[in-house]
Amino acid sequence: MGSLRLISLFALAFSLAISVTLGRPNIILVMTDDQGYGDLGTHGNDEIDTPNLDRFASESLGMDRFYVNPLCAPTRASLMTGRYYLRTGILHTSRGAAKMHGDEVTIAELLKGSGYRTGLFGKWHLGENYPMRPQDQGFEETLIHKSGGIGQTPDTDANYFNPILWRNGDLVKADGYCTDLFFDAAIQFLRSDSDKPFFIYVAPNVPHTPLD
């Protein structure tokens, strides 16, 4: 699969795995939703089984000194832009306060401009209309749910199974569990073109409620 940089980002935890590479590395960024630092086995939790995330951590450079906003959309805005969230136009998670300025430059835009294929699979939460959509912000391939969670928009129900999603801007009725759908789409994108490096951002809605 070529060189790989694996970035596993949990709600309050951040780890980085870097393989030795000569050229442009592939990058995978995984961000779970509402998962705390102490929710992982690698951080000492012996009540919750997190074997895959623990494996990510075992292959990673751990970072335990960081700043993060306690709210969802502001954190995602800072993650995508590298800027303090207030400068991006993101103030909160709802009521018109989760709309990122269209002229913000995201990591996806920078990497796309450097010849990377870019894909987002899961949660965006930085705006749903032009020019705030992920496809306007550097992502070539997208499979997302809208708003801050599956079922938060009035035309969908709060069900993680067979959810209504949006693929490249078009509504689709998906078949399967949401996390599987997002990761399967990411894997398909990863395998679709081996000649160019890729940046894949996987942001599942779990373990955010509802706990299906």
Q: From the CB of residue 31, how many other CB atoms can be counted at a distance below 10 Å?
A: 20
Digit-coded pLDDT (tens) for 94-140 = 877 789 999 999 999 999 999 999 999 999 999 989 999 999 999 99
CA nearest to 102, candidates 118, 125, 73, 126: 126
Q: What does the block give as tokens for 143?
A: 């499979």
**Cα three-residue angle 193-197-200, rounded to 5 degrees:** 90
The C-alpha R_g of the chain, in whole angstroms, comes to: 16
Digit-coded pLDDT (tens) for 30-75 = 888 988 889 999 999 999 999 998 997 888 767 777 777 888 899 9
Instruction: Give yes or no for a contact between 183 and 204, defined as CB atoms under 8 angstroms apart.
Output: yes
Active-site residue, selected from the candidate residues 72, 145, 178, 208: 72
Structure confidence at residue 19 as a pLDDT band (50, 70, 90): very low
d(CA 7, CA 56): 9
Mean pLDDT for all residues in the chain: 84
**Edge-first strand listing for the sheet containing 26-31:** 61-63, 14-18, 4-9, 26-31, 198-203, 117-123, 141-145, 164-167, 170-173
Write down the domain spans for the chain: 4-68+110-203
Q: How many residues does the chain have?
A: 212
Digit-coded pLDDT (tens) for 144-171 = 998 888 877 666 666 889 999 999 999 9
Beta-bridge mates of residue 42? none
Q: Residue 131: is the preceding peptide bond cis (ω within 30°)?
A: yes
178 counts as catalytic = no
The one-letter amino acid at 107: I
pTM (2 d.p.): 0.84
Active-site residue, selected from the candidate residues 92, 101, 125, 145: 125
CATH architecture of the domain with residue range 4-68+110-203: 3-Layer(aba) Sandwich (3.40)
pLDDT at 61: 66
Q: Which residues of 124-188 form beta strands (DSSP E)?
A: 141-145, 164-167, 170-173
